[in-house]
Amino acid sequence: MTATLITGIGELTTNDDELGRLHDAAVVIEGERVVWVGPAARAEPTDARVDVGGRAALPGWVDSHTHLVFAGDRTAEFEARMAGQAYSAGGIAHTVDATRAATDAELAATVRKLVREAVSQGTTYLETKTGYGLTVDDEARCARIAAKYVDEVTFLGAHIVPPGAEAEDYLATVTGPMLAAVEPLVRWVDVFCERGAFDAAQSERVLRAAADRGLGLRVHGNQLGEGPGVELAVRHGAASVDHCTYLSDADVDALAGSWDGGGSAGESAGESAGESTGTVAALLPACDLSTRQPLAPARRLLDAGAVVALASNANPGSSYTTSMAFCVATAVLQQGLSVDEAVWAATRGGAKALRADTGDGAVGVVRPGARADLHVLDAPSVTHLAYRPGVPLTCAVWRNGAREY
């Protein structure tokens, strides 16, 4: 197995509690794993060597919330929002119609294109959801297509009630034959707990059915107003509740209290959160901007001791971007996070939201035994991600041990 030495790293953000941030550093990759991290001067010779010339490196972005399996275009909806029309969940139905009409090849081509786009900007680990099929056959094929191209697949049959369907009849399908059809292809089940989608009782029904099958839980919640999403997510032990745009004091306290001993996103966040598992507040700033909602209260969450992730929410209706760097810059410039906190949230925070940041093959971290995901910037420091917003800074990307950019 060929080993590759990546040396000349001027600044290395590891997200590892013991290693911390290193300067004049090197990383050795062998196969799909990192096997050594340390000072460049102490690195042993390897089969291959890449010198990155003093540039900064960090773990690849972990995008824990996307919707990549779709067809159609919602430009007109975006233009209407920019002209003052309020966002609602109903626009999803337009994508459902287009997705049902698309061929497998057309859907797969869209997923491949967006994954390539994300990887070219430093994303190395992606979750994506179903949710634009909303029939047994269409949800199953969306899950099957997604599983070929992304790292984690989430079943979101409970996205909206399809036009013409009765909510109770549709929920019976979601929690019965639809869930059975996708179960071999997915790790997670999600529900859109929001006005215009599913209420608390309906959402709980979905979560219980998923838990009965041993699948992990996620919740879309508190996007359009305060609601039961956070409480449901925490009570059922969901790995994340995503959006979190409108939070009561009780919601913030519940998210913080879900972590043993607390936890916050920053250079020492992994240490404070330890190996515990709680419910991550996954924030989607590009979506907040695109829907003209207030930006989620990231600073308030961190100060309370919650664990925060940043994700792109890439989808055709409310957040048509794959740029995690944009999300990081927004979190720093408009949501009150430090650069370190935002970078942690977009890497190890996302990994925590997928419960993929510990053990062999962990993501969101650069340390021996971790998955070999590395993002090299054409900049001397991660600070440039916010200091130079909108500038493409990705210089090189290793994903699962292979150089992909």
DSSP 3-state of 285: helix
**pLDDT the model gives residue 375:** 98
CB 364 within 8 A of CB 352: yes
DSSP for 286-304? HHHHHTTPPPP-HHHHHHH
**pLDDT the model gives residue 264:** 39
DSSP annotation of 174 reads: I
* Extended strands (E) in 117-208: 123-129, 152-158, 188-193
- Tell me the C-alpha distance between 119 and 226, whole Å: 34
Buried b (16+ CB within 10 A) or exposed e, 156-178: bbbbbbbeeeeeeebbebbbeeb
**pLDDT the model gives residue 91:** 85
**pLDDT the model gives residue 1:** 85
Q: Are strands 21-30 and 240-243 parallel, antiparallel or unpaired?
A: unpaired
**pLDDT the model gives residue 99:** 97
pLDDT digits (tens, 9 = 90+) for 40-62: 999 999 999 999 999 999 999 99
**pLDDT the model gives residue 263:** 38
pLDDT digits (tens, 9 = 90+) for 201-243: 999 999 999 999 999 999 999 999 999 999 999 999 999 999 9
Look up the pTM and report it: 0.95
Tell whether the model's pLDDT for residue 271 goes beyond 50. no
How much is the mean pLDDT over the chain? 95
**pLDDT the model gives residue 276:** 59
- State the first-to-last Cα distance of the chain, in angstroms, to the nearest integer: 21
Buried b (16+ CB within 10 A) or exposed e, 376-404: bbbbeebbbbbeeeeeebbbbbbbbbeee
Count CB atoms within 10 A of the CB of residue 50: 18
Instruction: Report, as an integer, the average pLDDT of 242-268.
Output: 79
Angle (CA) 158 159 162, round 5°: 90
- In the block, tokens 């707990």 appear at 193
**pLDDT the model gives residue 89:** 64
CA–CA distance from 207 to each of 79, 152, 236, 238, 321 (Å)?
A: 35, 18, 8, 9, 28
Give all domains of the chain, ordered by start, each with its CATH number: 3-59+365-403 (2.30.40.10), 61-353 (3.20.20.140)
**pLDDT the model gives residue 275:** 52
Lowest mean pLDDT among 133-137, 162-166, 270-274, 319-323: 270-274
Tell whether the model's pLDDT for residue 158 goes beyond 50. yes
**pLDDT the model gives residue 90:** 66
Instruction: Report, as an integer, the average pLDDT of 342-351.
Output: 98
Instruction: Report, as an integer, the average pLDDT of 12-30.
Output: 98
- In the block, tokens 């740029």 appear at 323
* More confident site: 134 or 1: 134
- Tell me the C-alpha distance between 41 and 26, whole Å: 8
